[in-house]
Amino acid sequence: MLIQDINSINAADMDFRVDLFLHMTWVDRRLNLSHLASGQAFHTLPSYVIDHIWTPDPYVTNAKDAVMYSSKEVEFDWRKWSPVMINPELRLLQFSLKQPLKNYVNRSTEDELGQKVIQLVVELEFSREIGHHLVQTFVPSFLVVALSWFSFWLGLEAIPGRVTLLVTSLLTITTLFTGIKEGLPPVAYVKVGMGMNGCDSWYGMDENCHV
């Protein structure tokens, strides 16, 4: 397997698109023509026979359309040397791909009919590039919070200016948080939203200090 390109990574839906080349070799003993041996090293067959030669169709988990064969019909196995390769020129913008890739053979899987099937498993583990999120998320939120600090230097009589500054900062951070939340996956662990909630809490305390 040669992974040529990975694109359209959607963190919200937790899916992505991958372009790859899958090279397969197999042995079909039904094509053994030794019983037709006539002293020739090979036999020439008509071209239409190509359309009738069976070829294995690997089943891709979660695919929209595929055919699954039981282990009695097809038995998959990785080759012993470099079973999975990646295009050395592959570059991802917002994520990095952990290497080397984990790959193994799973022989204990059952299909919808309860038949044993063999899976060739490749695990792609992505990690976020911190630089992108620093520029797009953390730096803007910190700047908005720092902007709200100017309310401490306003006079006690400048109530309209202080309220306008804090409300504008709160609306800005809320809009920023809404845009970020749309691109986050539905996971159970702590996300960047905790930092945004901390910013909202700061605005609340800032307003209470002046009230």
CA-to-CA distance for 129 and 136, rounded, in angstroms? 11
Query: Is the domain defined by 130-210 classed in CATH 1.20.58.390?
Result: yes
Burial 180-200 (b: 16+ CB within 10 A, else e): beeeeeeeeeeebeeebeebe
Q: What share of the chain is helix, strand, coil (3-state, %, to 5)?
A: 35, 20, 45
pTM over 0.85? The answer is no
- Please state the domain extents for the chain: 2-128, 130-210
Q: pLDDT tens digits, the chain, 211 residues: what are they?
A: 888 988 878 777 778 888 888 888 888 777 777 766 566 667 777 888 878 887 777 766 655 455 566 666 677 777 777 788 888 888 888 888 888 888 887 766 666 556 677 777 888 888 888 887 788 778 888 888 788 777 777 777 777 877 787 778 778 877 887 777 776 766 666 555 555 566 656 555 555 555 4
The answer, yes or no, to whether the previous bond of 186 is cis (omega within 30 of 0) is: no
Query: Coil, strand, or helix at residue 166?
Result: helix
- Report which of 122, 123, 129, 124 is spatially closest to residue 96, judged by C-alpha positions: 129
In the chain, alpha helices (H): 130-133, 139-148, 159-182, 193-210
